Amino acid sequence: MIDRIARVQALRIAAQRDYVTTAGLRAPTLPSGADPRVLNRNTGRHICIYATRAETLLIQITTEAGVVGWGEAHSPPTPRVSQALVEDLLAPQLVGRDPLAVEAHWDRLYNSMRLRGHNTGFMMEALAGVDIALWDLKGKLLGQPIYRLLGGPFGVTDEAETVRVPCYASGIPGATLDERLQAAEAFIERGFTAMKLSIGRGGFDEDLEQAETIARAIAGRAHLTVDAHGCYDAHTAKMAARRLEAAGVRWLEDPLPPEDLDGYAALCAAVDMPIANGETECTRWQFQEKLRRGAADVILPDVCRAAGISEAYHIALVADLYNVPWCAHVSTCSSVHLAASLHLAAATPNFLICEYPNPLSPNPLGDPLLRQPLRYEAGHLIVPDGPGLGITFDEEALAAHTVA
Ligand SMILES: [Mg+2]
């Protein structure tokens, strides 16, 4: 007898973060020292706004027998939009169905809005949350971790058969170069061999000088990657890439706005350093177009944006057609996001490295909401080995962070 889907619920969770000063949204800011007369200044035009607190949307799918799967629709900065999509559009299409038919559900839910053009953004984030919850549920019903259901693990396992995924410290915190150099050293002390610097808010030279100094300071011990948040035009991006390449930077992420595929293709052809992008795109078709045009050397799909585990798995395989590696994009989120990324990483042949948002500033929606924290060891995250995602929420902690 099939244990059918009884309920699909969406709950918003939130917590204060250290950058919180006021309620509402945080607008992009530029440092006061940025000189507007300098050619190639960064205007801040492309920098996203952020919520002033950590918040995300969890999806809970429950079967008639009471088995529960969890997913996440990371929808910054307005998770209420995805909540409405899940509750009003996706849930009614799932109740009463067989939870094991995950790919078939994905296809039906995607098609339900396809000809209306809802193939990106909040719709795909909502679908991601539902799809991840279905995979968690499937793993629990079958008693297997998701990476095994997908045919993994690939990659290194130790004698205890622990599945490890390499990760990098994302975001080198600090208000000054000295503080960032100290943070980079702290990451190395914790075993990280790769870390990412965010630029694009300061002046062109000031930004690049910081990146060059950090890259040279950690050379031989750790790699630096640089995320420019789409702040350049194609010509300026080429100048920046050549400088960063000379300093040994491992890759340049999002130097151009995501729509500028021709600019990306020209940049990829012009420099040897890998050009990374793809946190914006959500489907196999969008990534195929990007890769067919030679517009990325490394892609960075985000499982909670790119329509969930089912579609992110397809995206990884599309990238493999082009011999391009993929890296997991992860931002401030619940542990569902990180765990889903780790299972996908362990189940795909062309996975490179997983983003681990600033490990020096613990995420209030991450480990504190779990009965057992996710394990980090020497530059690697351990893939949880329990059924499904392999994580269990602490119900009291979760309730305390749930938005009424
Ligand atoms: Mg990025």
Domain stops at, among 113, 143, 173: 143
Residues 254 and 359 in one domain: yes
In the prediction, which pLDDT does 29 show? 53
275 and 162 assigned to the same domain: yes
Q: Give the pLDDT score at 159.
A: 63
Cα–Cα distances (Å) from 87 to 8, 129, 343, in that order, read 7, 12, 26
The pLDDT value given to residue 160: 65
Select which of 223, 229, 314, 329 is catalytic.
329
Residue 307 lies inside a defined structural domain of this protein: yes
Give distance in angstroms: CA of 50 to centre of ligand 1: 14
pLDDT at position 42: 57
Regarding whether 118 and 161 lie in a shared domain, the answer is: no
Q: Is residue 288 part of a domain?
A: yes
The answer as to whether 331 is a domain residue is yes
Domain endpoint, select from 143, 174, 202:
143
One domain, residues 336 and 235:
yes
Neighbouring CB atoms inside 10 A of 75's CB total: 25
| Side chain identity, residue 119 | N
Q: How confident is the model at residue 257, as a pLDDT? A: 94
Residue 304 CA to ligand 1 centre (angstroms): 14
- 83 shares a domain with 163: no
pLDDT at 27: 55
Q: Is 229 a catalytic residue?
A: no
Does any domain span residue 404?
no
pLDDT on residue 38: 46
Say if residue 116 is in the same domain as residue 195.
no
Give residue 196's region: left, alpha or beta (phi > 0; psi -120 to 50).
beta
Geometric angle at alpha carbon 335, from 332 and 336, rounded to 5°: 110
Spacing, Cα 375 to ligand 1 middle (Å): 24
Residues 220 and 316 grouped into a single domain: yes
What is the domain range of residue 21?
A: 5-143
Spacing, Cα 353 to ligand 1 middle (Å): 14
> What residues does the ion ligand 1 have nearby, CB within 5 Å?
227
pLDDT in tens, the chain (404 residues): 899 999 999 999 999 865 433 445 555 555 445 444 444 555 666 677 888 889 999 999 999 999 999 999 988 889 999 999 999 999 999 999 999 999 999 999 999 999 999 999 999 999 999 999 999 999 999 999 999 999 999 976 666 679 999 999 999 999 999 999 999 999 999 999 999 999 987 788 999 999 999 999 999 999 999 999 998 999 999 999 999 999 999 999 999 999 999 999 999 999 999 999 999 999 999 999 999 999 999 999 999 999 999 999 999 999 999 999 999 999 889 999 999 999 999 999 999 999 999 888 889 999 999 999 999 999 999 999 999 999 999 999 999 999 98
Going from the Cα of 239 to the center of ligand 1, the distance in angstroms, rounded, reads: 20
Residue 292: inside a domain: yes
| CATH number for the domain harbouring residue 303 | 3.20.20.120
pLDDT, position 51: 83
Instruction: Indicate the pTM of the whole model.
Output: 0.94
Nearest to 145 by CA among 385, 392, 393, 335: 385
State whether 114 and 154 are in the same domain: no
**Number of domains comprising the chain:** 2
